[in-house]
Amino acid sequence: MLAAPKVVAEPSLIAGFDAGQTHTRCRLSDACSGELLGEGEGPGVCHLAAADGPARFRQALQVSLRQAQLELPDTAGAPLMAAGIGASGIEVGSSVQELGRQLAAEALQLPLGRVVITGDERTALRGAMGSHRGGIVVISGTGTIAVGRNPAGQEHRCSGWGWLLDRAGSATDIGRDGLALSLAMADGRQPDSPLRGRIWAGLNLSADDPQAAQAIKALVVEPGFGAAGFARLAPLVAAAASEGDGGAAAVVERSAQALASMAATISKQLQLDAPPIWPMGGALEHLALLRHRLEACLGQCCPGAHLLIPAADACSGALSMARECLEARPH
């Protein structure tokens, strides 16, 4: 009697996207085994409400997906079954989130039910958690945001309302406050310190130039300066603080307290006891003093909280969401 032929499952893919303002990453994995198969990069996105937002969003997804597919010679024809997307500027429960889901479904040629889209801070949290059932991500870069999740699946976020309204704890805040302090030194409201010369040199200005303060006033309102212009000054402030400059140290301390307050608020809202906290973003990755002071402030306002290295990244978090989306589809 002949044995029944072995049934070989057709290969199929799921995709996880991390869509930021500078670039977008797409990671592909096997829908059944979870094996990672390829990764590609595309252009960044902007807010979907912007005039070119939808077009840039489609391009970011399609280009990064094509680049990832180039690494899949053995599964070149494998269908994409589901996608998880973490994108900058997506607010959960908003009309922008629904618009993003519709645009993504069209761009990736997927049914709406096979696409999940959320803010990139939430995919970062899912990636960071690994086997943990709850915890908090605190992100400090040019901007800042924090989001947590408890074992029941409830989530709560703090901050992230745009740099003009809510920059506390960010590199932008540190740079702006350091620059403002230097101007107070220049007009005599604060005692002068090497911080002023350090920051002004970072702007290609001399502390001895009597016109430098007026030049700074004009510089910060130029269209190309913005949040990133202030953020670039943050390492100079942190360096001065590390060398004992009291004014600079106070600036860094305020930001550390603001970040710790976000984590403590989320911990309270979600009833997380001694939560793991994953620090992310350029400011917390590169400004050692800020990270150190955050840890100290957490000890005061969120007892038991402890900083951990993320288990994985935002692309992995997006893939987890895509897998859950696929598993939840009707059979």
- 218 three-class SS: helix
Beta strands in 66-129 (DSSP E): 80-87, 115-119
The 10s digit of each residue's pLDDT in 181-225 is 999 999 999 999 999 999 999 999 999 999 999 999 999 999 999
What fold does the segment set 171-307 form as a domain?
Nucleotidyltransferase; domain 5 (3.30.420)
- DSSP letter, residue 90: P
User: Which residues of the chain does CATH 3.30.420.40 include?
Assistant: 13-131+312-327, 171-307
278 close to 307: Cβ distance less than 8 angstroms: yes
Closest by alpha carbon to 208, among 230, 186, 191? 186
Q: Which two tokens stand for residue 115?
A: 């696409």
CA 331 – CA 329 distance, rounded (Å): 6
CA 70 – CA 72 distance, rounded (Å): 5
Hey, CA dihedral for 113, 114, 119, 125, is it positive or negative?
A: positive
54 close to 107: Cβ distance less than 8 angstroms: no
Token pair 């920051």 is at which residue? 199
The 10s digit of each residue's pLDDT in 276-325 is 999 999 999 999 999 999 999 999 999 999 999 999 999 999 999 999 98
81 close to 31: Cβ distance less than 8 angstroms: yes
Point out the least confidently predicted range of 60-64, 87-91, 232-236, 262-266: 87-91
Task: Report the CATH architecture of 13-131+312-327.
Answer: 2-Layer Sandwich (3.30)
Q: In Å, how far from its chain's centre is CA 137?
A: 9
Q: Residue 81: CB partners within 8 Å, gap ≥ 6?
A: 12, 13, 14, 31, 110, 114, 326
CA 170 – CA 185 distance, rounded (Å): 23
Taking 80 as the threshold, does the pLDDT of residue 10 lie above it? no
Beta strands in 230-302 (DSSP E): 276-280
Q: Which two tokens stand for residue 297?
A: 């402030």
